[in-house]
Amino acid sequence: AGGSSDQVLAPMPGKVTKVLVTKDAPIKVGQAVLVMEAMKMEYTLKADAEGTIDSINCAVGEQVALGKLLVKIKTDASK
């Protein structure tokens, strides 16, 4: 995902191992949102936008496809 996106997308197919945020929690740019495992490696996905967590669309243990919307961030601009 490029630019300052209000969405955290799966960068590759893999399994969600940790969700580090909760709905309506404040989030800052660069803050870790979730951890996924792919190709026997762990990847920490971070927020590209500041705001609050609008929705979490995955669960721990879930297999996700490339490009799946995992977390949506509500930014000040999108209110």
Please give the mean pLDDT across all residues of the chain.
Answer: 92
Burial class (CB in 10 A: 0-12, 13-18, 19+), 6: middle
Closest CA to 13 of 67, 66, 68: 66
pLDDT in tens, 7-32: 999 999 999 999 999 999 999 999 99
pLDDT, position 4: 58
Helix (H) or strand (E) holding 43: strand 41-46
Mean pLDDT, rounded, for 36-44 = 95
Quote the tokens at residue 14.
């893999």
